[in-house]
Structure 1
Amino acid sequence: MMTVVIIVAVVLVAACAVAFLYARQSGGQGMRRRFGPEYDRTVTRHDGDTKAAERELQERLERHGSLRERPLTSEARELYAERWTRIEAGFVDAPQQAVAEADALLAALARDLGFPDGEDFGEQSAALSVHHAEHVNGYRRVHAARQGDGGTEDMREALLEARGLFDVLVSNGTDRPARRHTHHAEGSGKA
């Protein structure tokens, strides 16, 4: 009987050790899956040091993982959509101003959803990266363009990429963009 108990104990210890080693080896894969392009960006920022990058991403998860986005009212969604449409329309005449307005709008939208205040861009973008890793880079690009990094084409591309984050945020995380606000010509007979 004692031999059976010892064999069972050894098998359990071995199974736990294998599970622990597997979890450690696949931990990076889990982070890579969870954060997507944000994982690669963070590894690059840490000069290829995956352990340091994973530590940073784990800290972000611990700080912001429990954040629950507050839903927007349909009125708020519509107002944000109208503001974004105006920003895009104004880009041709004033690209720097449009990018600055997009940056401010994304900060306000994220704040209204319950993310950290946009006064601390680093903290807000870190929280967004936990919940919207696939889209946060557009916000970073718009923010950098607002600071004067790049020319008009860079600003245009940043604004286009930021639209992905805007759409996800304004749609309450459903990946369905809010209805685009359109203006009809007066007297056109269209409602």
Structure 2
Amino acid sequence: MNTVLTIAVVVVLILAALVAGFVLRERLRRARLRRRFGPEYERLLAESPDHRAVERELTERERRHADLNVRPASAEMRRRYTHRWTEVQGRFVDSPGPAVMEADRLITSLMAERGYPTEGYRQQVTDLSVDHGRSLEHYREAHRVLERGVGGEAATEDLRLAMRHYRALFEDLLGDEQAGLPSDGDATAVPSPDPAPAPRPEARPTDARHPA
């Protein structure tokens, strides 16, 4: 009887250890996914409260990303794209709509040169979420402006915000060494017209009897 009881206790302890190990492993995996995907993890969880479904989706994204040949931005690439961004940003004041569309194309070009597939916006978002989840919402917000149309349908303020959103993703894609990138607002802030000069005070007539 003692032997049977001992075996039962050992089996229970082993099962408890296995369950504890499984729970710990799941918690660590969940914490890792949350750290890696950041706001994207929370966004998916808000859409579907099923943690397992969300984590399966994110794990699948990681698998696809691992098969891509994604390269970091080289120093030469950073210099070249920083120059191109400065040109695009400089055109915003006179042509906000075309500048925003050009910023979108520049983002796509940078993605392609880094090794990301660019066959469609939805897939681009999915692939970017693995390493750039914290700036992904900027991409979505900028793209929403494009979907509404920049040919006169989007207000100038919307276009300005779209440029700032594109800039946030652009900086993230380039890395931490975007030396020389103009500060936010240098060109995306549309200047207000110069104020009209204040009227000059009228000259008071001089009384001829009392010369000045």
Shorter-chain TM range is 0.7 to 0.9
Aligned to 1:107: 108
- CA displacement at 1:14 relative to structure 2: 1.9
> 1:167, 1:104 → 2: CA distance?
15
Extract unaligned runs of 5+ from structure 2: 183-212
Aligned to 2:137: 137
> 2:121, 2:133 → 1: CA distance?
15
Paired residue total: 176
- CA displacement at 1:126 relative to structure 2: 0.9
Supply the AA of the counterpart residue of 2:24. Y
> TM-score when scaled to structure 1?
0.75
> TM-score when scaled to structure 2?
0.69
1:42 aligns with 2:44: yes
> 2:107, 2:57 → 1: CA distance?
24
Q: 1:68 to 1:179 in 2, by over 3 A?
A: farther
Task: Specify which structure has the bigger relative contact order, considering alpha-carbon pairs within 8 angstroms and separated by 6 or more residues.
Answer: 2
3-state SS, counterpart of residue 134 of structure 2: coil
RMSD after superposition? 2.9
Supply the AA of the counterpart residue of 2:160. R
Supply the AA of the counterpart residue of 1:122. R
Extract unaligned runs of 5+ from structure 1: 182-191
Q: 1:63 to 1:73 in 2, by over 3 A?
A: closer
> 1:5, 1:68 → 2: CA distance?
53
Identity fraction in percent? 38
What is the aligned counterpart of 1:158 among 149, 153, 162?
162
- Map 1:1-191 onto structure 2 (within 5 A): 10-25=12-27, 27-44=29-46, 46-116=47-117, 118-148=118-148, 151-171=155-175, 175-180=176-181
Q: 1:49 to 1:99 in 2, by over 3 A?
A: farther
- CA displacement at 1:61 relative to structure 2: 1.5
Larger radius of gyration: 2
> 1:76, 1:26 → 2: CA distance?
36
> 1:96, 1:122 → 2: CA distance?
22
> 1:151, 1:49 → 2: CA distance?
38
Partners of 1:138 and 1:159 within 8 A in 2:
no
> 1:131, 1:25 → 2: CA distance?
21
